[in-house]
């Protein structure tokens, strides 16, 4: 049990709390909610074992599902982005990722934005397709994905900027 | 054997991913069929407790509007009580009123939800208050939903704003009945389908529950007709209903128990089996 483990445990609980207590009740324009709990998946340390990471992401999604009575939609989308994350990391950060030396506080803003955007859009697309579960309502699905993604990305970026530990 | 084990070890992340993804898909599909989701619902000790303490705080912010809603209901009930004095003598017993067969339990909404397409609410009464599956839930203005899962102290409600919810409803002035569904879009409108073409449908007509499902008594108000059109086969109307209830602002609700439901279902089952 080192400080990284503790930091992630605290982050898990805080993000679930934030999501359940505040963000699920925003309902901006009737249906737009940000899902910033995926910051847990986004910021999880890279060096840890992938199996554990996938499992923890599943747990994260399932906890949100428990609170919002949504079956397994959050769990499914969380597991998917957790599994796909190495690919996206390689795409966004290139060689830094190869040497396993990414620190999310110090990477370039552009590639960080790209990384968060890709993960968020994949997550939301799976989330809303499973929630609506109806191919004839694909416009509604895409519409919800688009608007919620914008909201989530902005909040995620803000939170990472506010809580970044920059030592200059 | 060695190779199989090697394969599993090499692909353990992928296999775990596949397993967990299938698991969550199963949970998801279970919630799409009514009453099937067994594990993942918010009527448990942990989530119920969190929502309970949360709503204890949140209640204070809505006190004024909730008071006004209750006052409105009181004045409506008072109006009924005092205006019906002329027929309320001792020799008159109104057998058509539903007081005899239905028991009402007041409850509070702990978690309201209206933004997703499968909205589920959480109540602060559970089976220790003799709340069971398939009891109806109404507010002072109209219907809210049907009890889905219960735990000791909490119960989840399948809201009428849920795409898998189906409730029997009818026109107030005639007895043409149809099914109340929701298309997942606006929380202020629901859809009534399967009303036959012959029914006299006008914008502004009132829609009430039909009492056919024996969950709700007959005549609980739902909303008024906003607009309507014929369906693709041109045999039935699809009606857009503006709800009386503001589903985004719910606090005090009543759970309705039909005390005769056992008898009714038994009777229906025997006649169907013959």
- Reported as a single tens digit per residue, the pLDDT across A53-81 is 899 999 999 999 888 888 889 999 999 99
- The predicted-structure confidence for B64-87, as pLDDT tens digits, reads as follows 888 888 888 888 888 887 777 655
Enter the tokens of residue A136.
């004839």
- Looking at the structure of chain A, the number of domains it has is 1
Predicted pLDDT at B242 = 92
Return mean pLDDT, chain B.
83
Residue of chain B whose Cα is closest to the Cα of A56:
B20
Domain assignment of residue B205, given as a range = 41-83+93-259
User: Is residue A123 one of the residues assigned to a domain?
Assistant: yes
Enter the tokens of residue A158.
């803000």
Q: CB under 8 Å, gap of 24 or more: what pairs does B173-177 form?
A: B173/B200, B173/B205, B173/B206, B174/B199, B174/B200, B175/B210, B177/B210, B177/B212
Is the pLDDT score of B218 beyond 90? no
User: Is residue A167 one of the residues assigned to a domain?
Assistant: no
Return mean pLDDT, chain A.
85
Predicted pLDDT at A118 = 93
More confident residue, A94 or A150: A150
Read off the CATH number of the domain in which B178 is found: 2.40.10.340
* Of the listed ranges A94-103, A140-149, B17-26, B159-168, the one predicted with least confidence: A94-103
- The predicted-structure confidence for B116-152, as pLDDT tens digits, reads as follows 888 889 998 888 988 888 889 998 888 999 998 888 8
More confident residue, B214 or B190: B190
Predicted pLDDT at A79 = 92
Provide, for chain B, the percentages of residues in helix, strand and coil under a 3-state DSSP scheme, each rounded to the nearest 5.
Answer: 30, 30, 40
Residue of chain B whose Cα is closest to the Cα of A126:
B25
Whether A67 and B42 lie within 8 Å, measured CB to CB: yes
Of A31, A62, A83, the CB nearest to B17: A83
Predicted pLDDT at B37 = 59
Is the pLDDT score of A102 beyond 90? no
On whether any CB of chain B is under 8 Å from the CB of A127, the answer is no
Query: How confident is the model over B153-162, as a mean pLDDT?
Result: 90
* Of the listed ranges A102-111, B146-155, B199-208, B262-271, the one predicted with least confidence: A102-111
**How close is the nearest chain B Cα to the Cα of A168, in Å?**
38
- Looking at the structure of chain B, the number of domains it has is 1
Predicted pLDDT at A101 = 64
Taking the model in full, what pTM does it have? 0.80
Of B50, B118, B248, the CB nearest to A131: B118
User: Is residue A14 one of the residues assigned to a domain?
Assistant: yes
User: Is residue A168 one of the residues assigned to a domain?
Assistant: no
User: Is residue A9 one of the residues assigned to a domain?
Assistant: yes
Query: How confident is the model over B177-206, as a mean pLDDT?
Result: 88
Enter the tokens of residue B147.
């009890």
Is the pLDDT score of B34 beyond 80? no
Whether B28 and A68 lie within 8 Å, measured CB to CB: no
User: Is residue B196 one of the residues assigned to a domain?
Assistant: yes
User: Is residue B265 one of the residues assigned to a domain?
Assistant: no
User: Is residue B3 one of the residues assigned to a domain?
Assistant: no
User: Is residue A95 one of the residues assigned to a domain?
Assistant: yes
Size of interface A-B (CB pairs under 8 A): 111
Predicted pLDDT at A152 = 92
Rounded Cα distance, A104 and A161, in Å: 10
Using a CB-CB distance cutoff of 8 angstroms, which residues of chain A are in contact with residue B28? Answer: 70-73, 76, 130, 133
User: Is residue B32 one of the residues assigned to a domain?
Assistant: no
> Would you say B254 and B139 are in contact if contact means Cβ atoms under 8 Å apart?
yes
Rounded Cα distance, B208 and B261, in Å: 20
Rounded Cα distance, A27 and A17, in Å: 17
SS3 at position A86:
helix
User: Is residue A117 one of the residues assigned to a domain?
Assistant: yes
Predicted pLDDT at B98 = 47
Of A144-153, B8-17, B75-84, B180-189, which has the strongest mean pLDDT?
A144-153
Q: How confident is residue A89, by pLDDT bands cut at 50, 70 and 90?
A: confident
- CA B217-B122-A75 angle, to 5 degrees, is 130
On whether any CB of chain A is under 8 Å from the CB of B37, the answer is yes
Whether B24 and A55 lie within 8 Å, measured CB to CB: no
On whether any CB of chain A is under 8 Å from the CB of B105, the answer is no
Please state the φ and ψ torsions of residue B219, each to the nearest 5 degrees.
95, 10
Using a CB-CB distance cutoff of 8 angstroms, which residues of chain B are in contact with residue A79? Answer: 17, 20-21, 24
Domain assignment of residue A17, given as a range = 3-162
* Of the listed ranges A28-37, B65-74, B91-100, B254-263, the one predicted with least confidence: B91-100
């Amino acid at each position: 049990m080192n400080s990284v483990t503790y930091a992630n445990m605290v982050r898990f609980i805080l993000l679930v709390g934030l999501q359940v207590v505040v963000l699920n009740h925003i309902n901006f324009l009737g249906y737009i909610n940000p899902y910033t709990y995926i910051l847990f998946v986004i910021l999880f340390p890279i060096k840890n074992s992938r199996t554990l990471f996938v499992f923890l992401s599943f747990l994260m999604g399932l906890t949100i599902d428990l609170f919002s009575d949504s079956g397994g939609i959050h769990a499914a989308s969380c597991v998917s982005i957790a599994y796909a994350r190495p690919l996206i990391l390689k795409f966004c950060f290139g060689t830094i990722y190869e040497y396993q030396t990414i620190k999310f506080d110090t990477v370039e803003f552009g590639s960080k934005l790209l990384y968060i955007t890709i993960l968020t859009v994949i997550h939301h697309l799976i989330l809303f397709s499973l929630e609506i579960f109806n191919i004839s309502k694909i416009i509604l699905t895409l519409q919800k994905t688009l608007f919620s993604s914008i909201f989530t990305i902005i909040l995620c970026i803000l939170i990472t900027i506010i809580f970044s530990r920059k030592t200059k | 054997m060695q190779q199989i084990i090697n394969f599993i070890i090499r692909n353990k992340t992928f296999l775990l991913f596949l397993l967990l993804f299938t698991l969550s898909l199963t949970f998801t599909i279970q919630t799409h069929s009514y009453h099937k989701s067994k594990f993942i619902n918010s009527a448990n000790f942990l989530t119920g407790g969190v929502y309970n303490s949360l709503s204890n705080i949140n209640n204070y912010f809505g006190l004024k509007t909730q008071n006004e809603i209750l006052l409105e209901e009181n004045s409506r009930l008072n109006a009924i009580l005092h205006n019906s004095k002329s027929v309320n003598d001792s020799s008159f017993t109104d057998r058509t009123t539903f007081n005899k067969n239905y028991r009402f339990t007041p409850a509070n909404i702990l978690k309201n939800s209206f933004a997703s397409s499968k909205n589920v609410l959480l109540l602060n009464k559970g089976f220790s208050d003799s709340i069971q599956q398939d009891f109806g839930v109404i507010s002072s203005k109209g219907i809210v939903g049907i009890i889905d899962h219960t735990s000791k102290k909490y119960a989840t409600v399948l809201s009428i704003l849920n795409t898998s919810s189906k409730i029997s409803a009818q026109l107030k002035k005639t007895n043409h009945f149809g099914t109340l569904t929701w298309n997942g879009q606006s929380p202020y409108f629901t859809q009534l389908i399967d009303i036959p073409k012959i029914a006299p449908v006008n914008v502004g007509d009132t829609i009430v529950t039909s009492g056919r499902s024996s969950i709700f008594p007959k005549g609980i108000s739902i909303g008024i007709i906003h607009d309507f059109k014929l369906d693709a086969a041109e045999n039935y109307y699809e009606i857009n209903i503006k709800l009386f209830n503001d589903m985004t602002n719910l606090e005090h609700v009543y759970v309705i128990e039909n005390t005769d439901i056992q008898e009714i279902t038994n009777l229906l089952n025997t006649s169907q089996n013959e």
